[in-house]
Every structure is written in structure tokens, then in C-alpha cells.
Amino acid sequence: MKRLLQFTLPIVLTALLLLCFPQSSGAKFESNSSRTPKVGLRVGNQAPDFELPMPDGTMLSLSSLRGKIVLIDFWASWCKGCRNKKGTIAVYNRYKDEKFVNANGFTVLSVSLDREKEPWLKAIKDDGLIWENHVCDFKVFKTNTSKLYNLGGVPRKWLVDENGIIIARDLSSSELKVILDKRLKE
């Protein structure tokens, strides 16, 4: 009997430990960075990917900008609150050529919820939106992108890192500067 307990007790205890603490089998040492984050709209989620046409008809996807920190800026030419882009322009000019720790630069992806092409293009020119990433499919809030990002209105902004992970939402230009400054190479 004593001999039976010597052999079975360790097996029973090991089985109980594995049942009670399944992560203790080495999984606790797995790095969070090796897991693919859930696609969603919260900080820490993988930003939902989308593809929309640029002014010349070329399709541009969010995922094609991987490697850079990207400010996704949802706006429309008909939205008065969206049209003051002085802060965004200043941030773009300040950080577009900077060297970041893990990213190959910073850019803005302007996603317009316009109805017609001419007012959209005029607003880009009139407002001095000098970055090259402008997209719109002229479906206003009926666009799939609007649904993906659960847009009830504009303006809205998401900041994603070089891997497409959301690092901030609906931030001011000064908050954006603080985040970007922390990611700069020294």
C-alpha cells in the first residue's frame, strides 16, 4: 500500500495541478506580443482594416500603411467641426519625417464621408491637407468603413501603431504630440 501511494500520489497531485492551473504548463511564459490582438475599436485591439478609393481611383487600405504610425481621421467637407485641421496639419508637419523607435514614420489617413467628389477635393485643397492619404467612397455613413468603426458622427480619430494596433482614440492634437514624442528615437 505504501509503495502504491509513492507512485500514485505524485501523479494525482500533478493531475490536480494541471486541472486547477492549466496555464502553469509553460503558457504563462508566452509573450503577449506573440498573440494576435482581437480586431476591434478599443485601445489594444487590431484596428479593423478597410480599403477605399483615393482621388485618382487607386485603392488604399489601412494595412498598406503598416510600418508607420497612422492617424485615421474620419471627417467630411460638409462638417464644420471637421474642417479646422490646423492642429492635425501642425502635427503632421512636425512628425512626418521623424525617426521612431519601432515605426518607419508618421502619416495621416483622411477618410471622408462625403457625398460628392468635387466638394471633397475642394476641401482638401482649401484646408491645406498636404498628406497623400485621402480616401472616400461617397456613401456617407452607409459605407462599410463607417460601419466597421461604428461611426455615429464625425470628426473621429484613431491612432494606430506600426502593427495596426490602436494606441489612442479621439485625442486632441496636444495629446497626439505627447504620444508621438514618447515613441521618438533618442
Distance between CA atoms of residues 165 and 34, nearest Å: 13
| Mean of pLDDT values over 137-166 | 95
**Size of the chain in residues:** 186
Contact 61, 49 (CB under 8 A): yes
**Which pLDDT score, from 0 to 100, does residue 24 have?**
34
Q: What average pLDDT does the chain have?
A: 86
Give 177's pLDDT tier (boundaries 50, 70, 90): very high
CB 145 within 8 Å of CB 111: yes
The reported pLDDT for the residue numbered 136 is: 98
Buried b (16+ CB within 10 A) or exposed e, 78-111: bbeebeebeebbebbeebeeeebeebebbbbbbb
With a threshold of 0.85, does the pTM exceed it? no
Angle (CA) 112-62-141 rounded to 5° is 30
User: pLDDT digits over 38-74, tens only?
Assistant: 999 999 999 999 999 999 999 999 999 999 999 999 9
Angstrom distance (rounded) from CA 177 to CA 13: 54
| Residue ranges of domains in the chain, CATH in brackets | 37-183 (3.40.30.10)
Tell me what the mean pLDDT of segment 86-97 comes to.
96
